[in-house]
A and B are shown apart, each in its own frame.
Chain A
Amino acid sequence: MPSASALRLQIEHTLERRFPAAFSPVPRTISETATTGIPEVDRLLDGGLPVGAISEITGPVSSGRTSLALAYLAARTHEDCVCAWVDASDAFDSESAAANGVALRQLLWVRCKNRGSQRQVLVDGVVKNPSPTDKPWARLDQALRATDLLLQAGGFSALVLDLGSTAPEHSARIPLATWFRFRQAADRTRCSLLVLAQQPVAQSSAAVVLECAHLNAQSPSQTVLAGCEYQVRTGRVASAAKTLHLAGQRKPPGSVWSATAAAQRSAAAQREVSA
Chain B
Amino acid sequence: MVGNCRGPEKRRGPERGKRMSPELYACVYVGEFPAQALLRLNPELATQPVAVLDGRPPLQTVCSLNRLARLTGASLGMTRLEAESIYGLRLIARSPETEAAARAVLFESAAQFSPRLEDVSQQTACSCVLDIAGTERLFGPPETLARNLRAALATAGFHASFAVSANFHTARLKAAAARGITVIPPQQESAALGKLPLAVLGLAEDPAETFAIWGIRTLAELAALPESDLVARLGPQAVDWRKLALGTHSHAFQPIEADFSLEEFCAFETPVEQIDSLLFIGARMIDCLATRASARALSLASLIVEMQLESGHAYQRTIRPALATIDRKFLLKLLQLEIAAHPPQAAVLSLTLSAQAGQSSKVQLGLFAPQTPEPSRLDVTIARLKAIAGDDRVGSPVLEDTHRPGSFRMESFSIANPSSAGKLGESEPAHPRMALRRVRPPAPVRVQLDTLRPVAFRDPEQCFKVAAAYGPWRTSGCWWSTEAWNTEEWDVLAESSGGASVACLLVRDCTRNQWQLEAFYD
Contact = CB atoms under 8 A, between A and B. Distances in A.
B370 A223 contact: no
Interface in B367-425: 369-374, 377-378, 381-382, 384-385, 388-390, 393-399, 403, 405-406, 408, 410, 413, 415-416, 418-419, 421-422, 425
A61 to B, nearest CB: 5
Given A80-B418, A96-B433, A225-B491, A125 B381 contact: no
B87 interface: no
Interface in B417-472: 418-419, 421-422, 425-440, 443, 459-462, 464, 468, 470
B501 interface: yes
Contacts of A82: 370, 372-373, 415, 418
B459 A81 contact: no
A271 B475 contact: yes
Contacts of A93: 406, 435-438, 519
B480 interface: no
B377 A38 contact: no
B475 A112 contact: no
Contacts, number: 280
Interface stretch (A15-23, A102-110, A201-209): A102-110
Residues of A contacting B: mostly: mixed
A124 B499 contact: yes
A275 B503 contact: no
A197 to B, nearest CB: 12
Nearest to B522: A66
A91 B435 CA distance: 11
B433 A67 contact: yes
B498 A124 contact: yes
Contacts of B432: 37-38, 67-68, 70-71, 100, 257-260
Interface in A203-225: 214, 217, 219, 222-225
B461 A153 contact: no
User: What's the interface size class on A, roughly?
Assistant: 35 or more
B473 A153 contact: no
A114 B413 CA distance: 22
A120 B442 CA distance: 10
A182 interface: no
Contacts of A96: 433-436
A91 B437 contact: yes
Contact of A100 (B427, B433, B459, B493): B433
Given A146-B388, A261-B434, A272-B473, A108 B396 contact: yes
Residue of A75, A103, A114, A262 most packed against chain B (CB within 10 A): A103
- Please classify the interface of chain B as helix (H, G, I), strand (E, B), loop, or mixed, using the class held by over half of its residues: mixed
Interface string A108-143: 111111100001111111101010000000000010
Interface in A23-44: 37-38
A260 B461 contact: no
Contacts of A165: 437
B521 interface: yes
B262 to A, nearest CB: 29
Given A80-B370, A146-B385, A260-B433, 11 more contacts: A64-B522, A79-B422, A93-B406, A106-B422, A107-B396, A122-B496, A124-B497, A125-B502, A146-B389, A155-B371, A225-B493
Interface of A: 37-38, 60-68, 70-71, 74-75, 77-82, 90-114, 119-126, 128, 130, 142, 145-146, 149-150, 153-157, 164-165, 190, 214, 217, 219, 222-225, 227-228, 257-265, 268-269, 271-272, 274-275
Interface of B: 369-374, 377-378, 381-382, 384-385, 388-390, 393-399, 403, 405-406, 408, 410, 413, 415-416, 418-419, 421-422, 425-440, 443, 459-462, 464, 468, 470, 473-477, 489, 491, 493, 496-504, 519-522
18 contacts: A38-B432, A71-B429, A100-B433, A101-B426, A106-B418, A109-B410, A113-B393, A122-B461, A123-B496, A150-B381, A155-B374, A155-B377, A190-B371, A228-B503, A260-B434, A262-B433, A271-B473, A272-B473
10 smallest CB-CB distances across A and B, nearest first, come from A125-B500, A155-B373, A124-B498, A101-B429, A94-B397, A74-B429, A96-B435, A66-B522, A111-B393, A93-B436
